Structure 1
Amino acid sequence: MADRHPGHGLPPRSRVLVTGAAGFIGSHLVDALLADGHQVVGLDLRTPDGHPPAGPAAPPARPGYTPLRSDITTDDLAPAVEGCDTVFHLAAIPGVRPSWDSFRRYAETNVVGTQRVAEACLAGAVRRLVYASSSSVYGLVGGPSREDQATAPASPYGVSKLAGEQLCHAYAARPGHPTTVVALRYFTVYGPRQRPDMAIGRLLTAAATGEPFPLYGDGSHRRDFTFVSDVVAATVAAASADLTAGGPAARSAPGGGPPRSVTVNVGGGASVPMTEVVDLVERVTGRPVRLDRLPERDGDVPATAADLTVAARVLGYRPRVGLAEGMARHARWLRRVESTAALSGTR
């Protein structure tokens, strides 16, 4: 994986579990962990030969990689966590807007599923659980979000991710629990293998095809876009992060003692209005973007922005890939995918 950050890392040749391993971020994380020589168990509901375009670029049967088709809401997770030093829990139902219509799925996977993963970590004496949370837990904010400020999710999706966070913190605080926790609040991740319904991927596709891009509201909504390699670097660093550096973002057990868990923002370093994002797509691609202007949608907050003070202190993290560079990489990947599809006749 390119753009690796120095500093924190797992012990050499660790055995780790990645839930949601066939997803956008999960597949990049698997690639990075294998490149570092770790033994990776990849758990996902999708079959190895049935990945959507967001799935891993390399075949699943790779040295050091064990794919498991499993459901975190119902299946026995003990075999997956057995012998693992770290569990990276990324499996979730994503999306703000759909969460209004199908919350039961979000509750079952994002809340019940997370509780079952935390329980399996306890039973398997896992050293560190890294939980993938979301900036959606903050809701409406007036400036850069800090980990120690109040949370007020503006969507059922945000509620489900915050509930997952709280479950992980609660398990870490249990007396005698062997597992410490780092909860990472990702801010709008983009890059190669991104879900096709996400904004930057849709904008790049709209520029290439001439199809309209749905722009909700007046375009003034701001987002803190984070390139996937930066997110992966922060996630790997979380496996060995020093929780004592978390300050107010860290939590101890009820009786006191050293911190048992910490919450950390992972952002791209700048909050950009959607109108500027559209302009940047046009500059990167050299093509205009046709807009379909639509009313604002429930759950879409006016702005997201990450305060990265804790991330720098706990993870040694700073974003390395700016929006223009990341968007250009994303566009090149989309062109390769399109070219491959055309050659194979699957387009």
Structure 2
Amino acid sequence: MELKRDRLAQLETYPNFQFCLLDVADKPALLGLFVGGAFDQVIHLAAQAGVRYSIDNPDSYAQSNLIGFLNVLEACRAFVPRHLIYASSSSVYGLSTAMPYATTDKADRPVSFYAATKRANELMAHTYSHLYNIPITGLRFFTVYGPWGRPDMALFKFTDAILNGRPIDVYNDGDMSRDFTYIDDIVESLTRLLPLPPASENGTPNTVFNIGLGAPVKLLDFVDNIESALGISATRNYLPLQPGEVINTWADTRDLEARINFRPQVTVASGVRAFVDWYRAYYGV
């Protein structure tokens, strides 16, 4: 919670920023926000995140990711914005073995309940867009990382463990890869997409894009980058593949590039170093 409060303190330095504490699963509260907000553009990033947590806590995901997203759609039905952008996930590709993942590929075999909720969001968005003519864009984020990131993500956990002399858990014996995407590239993509609502296709102004670097990195190489940035070697605890995890991810971002004339470009080496610099400064280590 302290990290969240400190993130919020950073945002509150901007004069046009306003914070409202509410649960997206609380429909009356959310509709009340829209009544007073007169929003012409909406970026919906609120969700219960994480693959592993969803294995044992599916109810939390149903409330935040399904009921919460339904409430956002209902609010946008009542007060139609010029553009609604929401966060989906690369996890929707599930058991797909076609690489790189393209938005034209099937995404009907998720391997975690988290992934299932995100795929459900995409179907819900398509339906609301079609029925109520709401311009909607879904973004399949690929392993987002960077300063102020989530403590449950590998980069945060590995950095913390290495600095505190604890071993790191490396799943599937390290035989995995991820298309790591630096937070600045995510923000730049969102900024460019926001004024570009999708055109109506067959009566449905709805689309989905991948947002990833387009260059998967092996997990062991990722750990090497963390060690290099820290100047400390990790003690590695090799473990089997965890339920709900996929082995590889790789984003085909050509349609995104064509739409916004931009592609994510921050390398893992520079992105990891930026995170480590932030971590050391934030925690004073």
- TM-score class, shorter-chain normalisation, is over 0.9
- Does the 8 Å contact 2:89/2:142 carry over to 1? yes
In the other structure, the counterpart of 1:150 is: 106
CA RMSD between the two structures: 1.9
Quick check: 1:313 aligned with 2:258? Answer: yes
SS in 1 for 2:84: strand
Contact 1:131 1:168 (C-alpha < 8 Å) held by counterparts: no
2:21 corresponds to 1:69: yes
Cα pair 2:136 2:197 within 8 Å, conserved: no
Residue aligning to 2:32: 79
TM-score, structure 2 length as denominator?
0.92
| Change beyond 3 A, Cα 1:181–1:137 | same
| Superposed CA offset, 1:58-90 (max 9, x none) | 263741111111111114223323311111111
Distance 2:272 2:6 in 1: 16
- Give matches, 1:15-54, under 5 Å: 52=4
SS state of the match for residue 64, structure 1? coil
Matched, 1:295 2:250: no
CA distance in 2 between partners of 1:325 and 1:181 (Å): 33
Contact 2:146-2:271 at 8 Å conserved across structures: yes
Give the gaps of 5 or more residues in structure 1.
Answer: 1-45, 245-250, 343-347
Is the CA contact 1:266–1:311 (under 8 Å) kept in the aligned structure 2? yes
Instruction: Return closer, same or farther for 1:200/1:87 CA change in 2, 3 Å cut-off.
Output: same
Of Structure 1 and Structure 2, which has the larger fraction of its residues in helix? Answer: 2
Q: Over residues 295-326 of structure 1, what are the superposed CA-to-partner deviations in whole Å (9 max), with x where a residue is unaligned?
A: 21101101000001111012323112110010
Deviation digits for residues 88-108 of structure 1 (CA, Å, limit 9, x no counterpart): 111100010111111111011
Q: Identity percentage over the alignment?
A: 34
The answer on whether the counterparts of 1:212 and 1:292 sit within 8 Å (CA) in structure 2 is yes
Q: Is this contact kept in 2: 1:154–1:300, CA < 8 A?
A: yes
Residue 109 of structure 1 deviates from its aligned partner by: 0.9
- The residue that corresponds to 1:284 in the other structure is 229
Q: Which residue identity does 1:101 align to in structure 2?
A: D
Map of 2:220 onto structure 1: 275
Distance 2:224 2:122 in 1: 36
1:292 CA displacement? 1.6
- Pick which of 150-159 and 200-209 moved more: 200-209
Give, as a single letter, the amino acid of the residue that structure 2 aligns with 1:146. A
What TM-score comes out, normalization by structure 1 length? 0.76
TM-superposition CA deviations, 1:162-209 (whole Å, max 9, x none): 1111111111111xx252000000000000111112111122223322
Give CA deviations for 1:279-298 in whole Å, capped at 9, x if unaligned: 11112221101112222110
Separation in 2 of the partners of 1:267 and 1:296?
23
Instruction: Work out whether 1:202 is the aligned partner of 2:154.
Output: no
Aligned residue for 1:56, secondary structure, equals helix
The corresponding residue for 1:192 is 147
Tell me if the contact between 1:188 and 1:223 (Cα under 8 Å) persists in the aligned partners: yes
Deviation at residue 54 of structure 1 after TM alignment: 6.9
Give 3-state SS (helix, strand or coil) of 1:55's partner.
Answer: helix
Amino acid at match of 1:64: N
Q: Which residue of 2 aligns with 1:21?
A: none
Query: Separation in 2 of the partners of 1:302 and 1:178?
Result: 38
Between Structure 1 and Structure 2, how many residues are aligned?
280
Question: What is the letter of the counterpart of residue 185 of structure 1?
Answer: R
